Structure 1
Amino acid sequence: MKTLLSLFLGTTLGITAFCERQKPNFIVFIADDVSWDDFACYGDPNAQTPEIDKLAESGITFTNTYLTASSCSPSRNSIMTGRYPHNTGAAELHTSPPEAMLSMAEVLKQNGYYCGHSGKFHMGDYAHRGFDVIYTSREDVGDGGEKSWVQSLAERPMDKPFFMWFAAYDAHRAWGENEFSGTHNPDEIKVPYYYIDDAETRQDLAHYYDEIKRFDHYIGLCIQELEKQGQLENTFIIVMADNGRAFPAAKTRVNDRGMKTPFVVSWPQNIKRASTCDSLVSVIDIAPTFFELAGAELPEQFQGRSFSALLKKPQQEFRNYVFSEHNWHDYEAHERMVRSKDLLYILNARPNKPQLGPTDSVGSPTHISLVKSQQAGTLTTAQADIFVTPRPREELYDCTSDTEQWLNIASLPDRQNDLAKMRAVLDEWREQTGDTTPATLTPDYYLPEPGYIKTEQHGTRGENPGAARKATEINAPGPF
């Protein structure tokens, strides 16, 4: 009997271990301050991203995946909790969700996953408990945040499925020297038309693309390690970013230049050929997708839905709407955005504020070149957009004919039905999710000029959006 019992237990444990190994592994490679179309596989002529391009060639390139905030910590907290920023209690930069809030890593760990983090964290202490190992010191992660990625894969227990959150500092300012410095020749850089095409802007962009190159290189090293371990086939990989580039007209904006993220998905075992998915996806849908594929129940806290059906049929529709928000990030702000496949609507509660971007953008050579041209009176309409004040309280864009959202059609008589429809959808989302517009928001911490010059209000915090309605306790997702 003892022998039979031992055989039974051994077989049962063996089956359990086998089943655990069959669960897919998950890796999220998340860049810092990289716009959605700044990889070569998205058509950027400046980018050198061969490793990401290889993943796209055998995976799915999503073209309409949206962040919920174009700001580092609110964006990352939203992904990790599967909740909109005002529902995390951490809608503003440098704030954290409550300790009791679940993280994606914690749920996966409860379901048998080994969870590792390496690189930039920026999510507060609440999320630490979900990870088995965390590398965050500059000594461990290096200037770009990628130094311990391969090590994390090599040191993991080999008898468990794993989830890795590999978060680069690349391409966050300030630019530093690295092994890829000088990869991009400033003279060959194609400058976006809404910047000034001068030597300073070209060099600024060249440094930016050098850091994207480093991010891409370390992804390639991780792929090599996965192949060596025989784990690449069963590893679900996402390559994305937390917000738009730290240049004018991108980071902190709620239009596509700020809120859309690159989103390349690779899973060789289940995605057999290169595909493009144009369906709307929100980053709050990442955690529910992982949970479904891992066989884990979806806690009611998570406001997104699994997009796993798109892996088999990328051409089908998924969401009708995605929602995003812009709250304090160096400067006072309160904007809300809803995007459908064809329309983008913005509600701005602080139209008296220009759209300069955060201080790292305001201090950039690219921004300074725009200021000089503004003083000379030579800016084009697109280049002058960041300085416009007051701004419209409502903006509406036809994304089929105006893909970069420059022509505000909210006041056109023949678009009033579209305006009313999108306004109603956003109002419904705000009501259902408990969003608020506090009378006292966190004020500007810096003057709107280069040099990080502090205001008298520096360090003062206002009321967090959603706090008055206890939005952290509301799980309703709003319109889908």
Structure 2
Amino acid sequence: MFNFCEHQIPYSIKPIRFAVLLLILFVGTMFENVQAAEKEPPNILWITCEDMSPRLACYGDETVSTPRLDQLASESVRYTHCFGTYGVCAPNRHTLIMGMYPTSTGAMAMRTWKRTSALHLITDPELRALPVYEATPPAEAKCFTEYLRTAGYYCTNNSKTDYQFRPPITAWDESNAKAHWRNRPDKTTPFFSVFNFTITHESKTFKQSSPSVVNPDEVTLPPYYPDTSIVRRDLARQYDNIITLDGQVGKVLDQLKQDGLDQNTIVFFFSDHGDGLPRAKRWVYDSGIHVPFLVRFPDGKMAGTTCDDLVSFVDFAPTMLSLIQLSIPEYMEGFPFLGKQATEKRDYIFAFRDRMDPSPERIRSVRDHRYKYVRNYRTDLPYIGFLPYRDQAGIMQEIHRLKDAGELGPDQWQFTMQSKPAEEFYDTQTDPHEIHNLADKPEYSEMISKFRKVHEQFVEEHGDLGDRPETELIKDLWPPDGKQPTTAEPVLSIVDGKLQIDCATEGASIAFRQEGEKNWQLYSGPVGISGNKPIESQAIRLGWKPSSTVVLSQKN
């Protein structure tokens, strides 16, 4: 804005000319504002897969042909340093939906609110008594999709939730196998859609799940694997499944183009964590947390470029809000890396491991672009714990067999050690597979001390709920006695022809729908209601039991 107090008018500009100049500036500003207002908000599509490290040609692995993902990469920004917070799905999905570290909310263990399917195999009474509970974020915390829905986005999720708390009905317009942007009632409504594919999941290597294409003799084994036919077979199965995944990704991209939406949709592609193979899934090494990550912008911005910035899953939620110019809540612990609110680049990413089904554990790690620091809090435990689900894999059974026979080599020490060092330190540039621990090398002592302090500062800033037994953790999440609270029932009323809903529980989200409607709507303020059909409503605070459903019967 022109400030007459700060700027003098040159004598040469006559009053009439100055008035014309002001008019031109005013009209130009108004035109720009109209253009900005008329610009449609972008749609956002997440195409996700499971249990897959960057085993793609665009990342230098040409074992299999993936033409659709290669094409997507050529049109995208390819991130080379994107990491999950855990090497397993549920804590990572919690991180993604909340923009918070699982260690801040009680979402660390795999899983928290469901009994392990292998419970009948557990003989240790302490392990059998592991509690079931829901991660409980602060009262004000929401699934980030609620902010999108409030802003007018139609949000769909076609496959998995697994957020470490029961999925709230307020998070999605649709969350089921048939969820699709095509189901939105108004085709001009912006959407956020997630399509998750499970073909690369760990379980898909337990047997041949895709057509056999890859010759096991031609796969490249990392040095932490023994070279046997069974190990090669299971890795070849992983590559076979990646071929199938490529076709699945292509179908979604084709649908986007068929609908004429590819020119106004930002596309994310990534995996929920690294490979679903031993010494990858559930571990804090790069094999378990490093993922492929592509971002395609509709205007071709940065197409075919590479970004080496450190990115963590905790950054995704604030980045989504930044992309559509929504305010980022203070409770979110990540940093937006795209959009107008993008912050400075990260110096470190943080990763964690805690109980995996019946197997106790506590590991923390810090990584910069080159070095990885690992702190083992349970040095008394072996690297390979009791995991009946994982042990269904032929490759893991083979590793157990070779371990028992004393036939594993020195590079496979992480499978044989019955205890752990307090600290590990790796140079991922010279040792990308993280098998040469440098923690006891004097020349690295100063650098290790720096990383140790970074870890301790992180804990000081964010806390770490993994530092106590889960029986005590529940009391912190649900004080004072560890009993799960119930969200208060919503109170419905019609005021001046509009529906108004209140809830006494701090931070509770509220959903409602009229009789006959399939999908729940998110309540964000008084809303007009057509007709006289009954209205039902439910309130939810994350980590608490949802309220009972309340029905308001409207009178004619």
- Give the shorter-chain TM-score range: 0.7 to 0.9
For 2:229 and 2:363, the matched residues in 1 are separated by 34
Q: C-alpha deviations, 1:118-159, integer Å up to 9, x for none?
A: 012212334441200111xxxx4xxxxxxx4xx713323411
Choose 1 or 2 for highest CA Rg. Answer: 2
- Partner residue of 1:87? 104
1:323 aligns with 2:350: yes
Partner of 2:223: 193
Counterpart of 1:265?
295
* Paired position in structure 2 for 1:34: 52
Q: Which runs of 5+ in 2 are unaligned?
A: 1-32, 113-133, 481-505, 507-556
The 3-state SS of whatever aligns with 1:44 is coil
What residue ranges of structure 1 are gaps of 5+ in the alignment? 1-14, 141-147, 442-460, 474-480
Q: 1:52 and 2:69 equivalent?
A: yes
Contact 1:97/1:126, CA 8 A, preserved across alignment:
no
Rounded Cα–Cα distance in structure 1 between residues aligned with 2:419 and 2:476: 25
SS of aligned partner of 1:46: coil
Cα RMSD between the aligned structures? 3.0
Matching residue's letter, 2:381: K
**CA-to-aligned-CA distance 1:190-248 (integer Å, 9 cap, x gap):** 33332233322222223222322232212111111111122112211111112222211
- TM-score (normalised: structure 1): 0.80
Aligned counterpart, 2:166 = 125
SS in 2 for 1:463: helix
Q: 1:179 to 1:252 in 2, by over 3 A?
A: closer
Partner of 1:98 in structure 2?
136
CA distance in 2, matches of 1:210, 1:360: 22
Are the aligned partners of 1:47 and 1:209 in contact in 2 as well (CA < 8 Å)? yes
Q: Percent identity?
A: 29
Cα deviation for residue 370 of structure 1 reads 2.0
1:112 aligns with 2:140: no
Q: Could you tell me how far apart the structure 1 residues matched to 2:354 and 2:382 are?
A: 14
Larger displacement relative to structure 2 (104-113 or 21-30):
21-30
What does residue range 344-363 of structure 1 map to in structure 2 within 5 Å?
A: 344-356=372-384, 358-363=387-392
Contact in 2 for aligned 1:173/1:360 (Cα 8 Å): no
1:408 partner amino acid: N
Distance 1:39 1:77, change over 3 A: same
Equivalent residue for 1:202?
232
Residue correspondences, number: 421
The residue identity in structure 2 corresponding to 1:155 is N
Rate the CA distance shift 1:408–1:187 in 2: closer, same or farther, 3 A: closer
Distance in 1 separating the partners of 2:448 and 2:402? 34
> Following the alignment from structure 1 to structure 2, what is the Cα–Cα distance between the partners of residues 370 and 47?
25
Is the 8 Å Cα contact of residues 68 and 325 (structure 1) preserved in structure 2? yes
Distance verdict in 2 for CA 1:469–1:418, change over 3 Å: farther
Instruction: Quote the Cα distance in structure 1 between the aligned partners of 2:37 and 2:393.
Output: 51
What letter is aligned with 2:414? D
> Which of the two has greater helix per residue?
1
Distance 2:98 2:43 in 1: 19
Q: Distance in 2 between matches of 1:333 and 1:350?
A: 6
Q: Deviations over 1:250-281 (max 9, x none)?
A: 01111211111111111131424301111111
1:30 alignment partner AA: T
Q: Does 1:463 align with 2:473?
A: yes
Q: 1:242 to 1:422 in 2, by over 3 A?
A: same
- Between 277-286 and 205-214, report the one with greater CA deviation: 205-214
More strand by share: 2
Quote the Cα distance in structure 2 between the aligned partners of 1:469 and 1:380.
49
Q: How far, CA to CA, are the matches of 2:390 and 2:61 in structure 1?
A: 21
- CA shift at 1:162, angstroms? 0.8
What amino acid is the match of 1:367?
M
